């Protein structure tokens, strides 16, 4: 993220936002006609209709695994002088914590890889771990609501919960991992986040993306409004300063940047000494 929002690259963001002065109406049209009023983003449409079967199959496999373990809070695993240290309930919580750590680390390592199949496999594994955690919460009856429905039941019923879990993972990856310094990792994480969101809850994802497009178009409308001349002048001045700074700090083509010494010319010594020796030898 540092590489994306550093001072040398801010001019590109300025140009991106300024372009919506000229793209106001097309952007509003795309938001309304393609994302809001499009039957393609219904849950029953292909390929979004596959989400129900996939999540059901994953949840069944997770249920089979969790059902082989016992997380009964009345079962004492460790007890010291009558004080219960570890019971079935705490064993379940420890297992959940370990699964979350492993899933986060696996996904973070996969995003660093350039291969797309690594990311797909990592997302499937993380989704499977999510259902393992949900089934464990369901068995140990963790945080039941007034109707007696546990957090695990809610996690399984609400697909949007998985999206929010992935949001947290991506944010942690950005703030504490390579996404903070590597632009490729940052953008891959965001693209995968939106793809999963679109696959699981397509209507909500489409509406959210349409709202983002409308916001960008409205920003262009504010800049082009005659009532906001002072704001437009400030914005133009910011762009001018960013462009001048970019030109001033630009590195010459062919090297010399980044503090690395320039390559020596072919033929040996400094200052063309190799050529003088060849001429003197004739």
SS3 content of the chain, % helix, strand, coil (to 5): 70, 5, 25
Q: Within a 10 A sphere around the Cβ of 151, how many other Cβ atoms?
A: 18
Mean pLDDT for the stretch of residues 125-148: 78
Return the top range by mean pLDDT from 58-67, 136-145, 250-259: 58-67
Tally helices (H) and strands (E) across the chain.
11, 2
279: pLDDT confidence band, cut at 50, 70 and 90?
Answer: very low
**pLDDT confidence of residue 270:** 47
Quick check: helix, strand or coil at residue 143?
A: coil
Can you say how many angstroms the Cα of residue 242 is from the centroid of all Cα atoms in its chain?
Answer: 27
For residue 115, give the H/E element and its range. none
Mean pLDDT for the stretch of residues 261-281: 49
End-to-end CA gap in the chain: 58
Classify residue 88 as exposed, middle or buried by CB count within 10 Å of its CB (0-12, 13-18, 19+): middle
Question: Model confidence over 83-122: pLDDT tens digits?
Answer: 555 666 677 778 778 877 887 777 777 777 766 777 777 7
Where in the chain are the domains? 10-251
pTM of the model: 0.67
Reply yes or no on whether the pLDDT at 158 is more than 70: yes
Name the β-bridge partners of 83.
Answer: 80
Phi-psi map region of 34: left, alpha, beta (phi>0 left; psi -120 to 50 alpha): alpha
147: pLDDT confidence band, cut at 50, 70 and 90?
Answer: confident
- HSE, CB side, 13 Å, CA atoms: give it for residue 245: 13
Minimal CA–CA distance to 92: which of 131, 141, 59? 141
Q: Who has greater pLDDT, 20 or 179?
A: 20
Reply yes or no on whether the pLDDT at 14 is more than 90: yes
**pLDDT confidence of residue 25:** 92
Q: What's the CA gap between 217 and 28, in Å, rounded?
A: 7
Q: Within a 10 A sphere around the Cβ of 107, how many other Cβ atoms?
A: 25
Minimal CA–CA distance to 22: which of 214, 212, 217, 215? 217
217: pLDDT confidence band, cut at 50, 70 and 90?
Answer: very high
Reply yes or no on whether the pLDDT at 202 is more than 50: yes
Residues written for the chain: 282
170, 176 contact by CB (below 8 A): no
**pLDDT confidence of residue 80:** 60
235: pLDDT confidence band, cut at 50, 70 and 90?
Answer: very high
Q: Who has greater pLDDT, 221 or 90?
A: 221
Q: What's the CA gap between 41 and 34, in Å, rounded?
A: 9
């Amino acid at each position: 993220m540092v590489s994306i929002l550093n001072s040398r690259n801010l001019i590109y963001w300025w140009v991106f936002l300024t372009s919506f002065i000229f793209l106001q109406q097309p952007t509003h049209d795309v938001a309304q006609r393609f994302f809001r009023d499009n039957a393609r983003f219904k849950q029953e449409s292909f390929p979004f209709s596959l989400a129900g079967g996939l999540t059901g199959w994953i949840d069944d496999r997770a249920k089979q695994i969790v059902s082989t373990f016992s997380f009964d809070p009345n079962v004492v695993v460790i007890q010291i002088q009558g004080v219960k240290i570890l019971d079935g309930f705490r064993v379940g919580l420890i297992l959940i914590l370990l699964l979350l750590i492993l899933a986060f680390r696996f996904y973070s390592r996969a995003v660093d890889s350039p291969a797309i199949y690594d990311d797909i496999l990592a997302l499937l594994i993380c989704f499977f771990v999510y259902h393992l955690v949900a089934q464990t919460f369901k068995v140990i009856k963790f945080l039941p609501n007034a109707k007696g429905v546990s957090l695990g039941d809610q996690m399984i019923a609400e697909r949007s919960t998985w999206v929010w879990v992935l949001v947290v993972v991506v944010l942690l990856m950005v703030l504490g991992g390579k996404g903070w310094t590597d632009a490729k990792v940052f953008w891959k994480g965001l693209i995968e986040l939106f793809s999963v969101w679109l696959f699981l809850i397509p209507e909500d994802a489409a509406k959210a993306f349409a709202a983002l497009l409308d916001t960008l178009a409205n920003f262009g409308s504010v800049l082009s409004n005659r009532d906001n001349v002072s704001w437009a002048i400030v914005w133009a001045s910011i762009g001018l300063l960013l462009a001048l700074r970019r030109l001033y700090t630009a590195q010459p083509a062919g090297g010399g940047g980044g503090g690395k010494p320039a390559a020596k010319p072919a033929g040996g010594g400094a200052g063309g000494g190799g050529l003088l020796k060849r001429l003197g030898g004739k």
